[in-house]
Amino acid sequence: MASRSGRRATLAEVKATEYRIVVIGELGSRYRATFEPMQLVPGDGETEIVGRIEDDAELQGILETIAALGLSLVSVNPVRRSETRSQVESRLFSSSDSPTRPTPEAQRQDPRHGSHPG
């Protein structure tokens, strides 16, 4: 049995961390299953892959998947503790791949809504 200062104790103390991995390109819904349980947040020509990563092996596996898909990696960063999950989710639900209600401006310009701009 390893002591507290031994390698086994050190590995047991490693904590899971939320990460934000950014790749070039706006990944669509067909990639969701590939990166589950991570969340995909596409926008502005990039996609954030956000979620909890349990250890270095899991992080390495995600990076290998990105490379195997031929995606260009922009950055890999732990999510700051000051950024709450709700802030990440607000970006997720405002992404172009998520269902959203049209803005009043878009409704006025859309002939299906029965009104046309002046």
State the pTM of this model: 0.60
pLDDT tens for each residue of 94-118: 554 444 444 444 444 444 444 444 4
**Percent of residues, the chain, with pLDDT higher than 70:** 56
Torsions phi, psi for 46 (to 5 deg):
-135, 170
Assigned token pair, 98: 């998520």
CATH dotted code for 13-98: 3.30.70
Element (H, E) at 65: helix 56-68
Indicate whether 48 pLDDT > 90: yes
pLDDT in tens, 50-83: 999 999 999 999 999 999 999 999 999 998 766 5
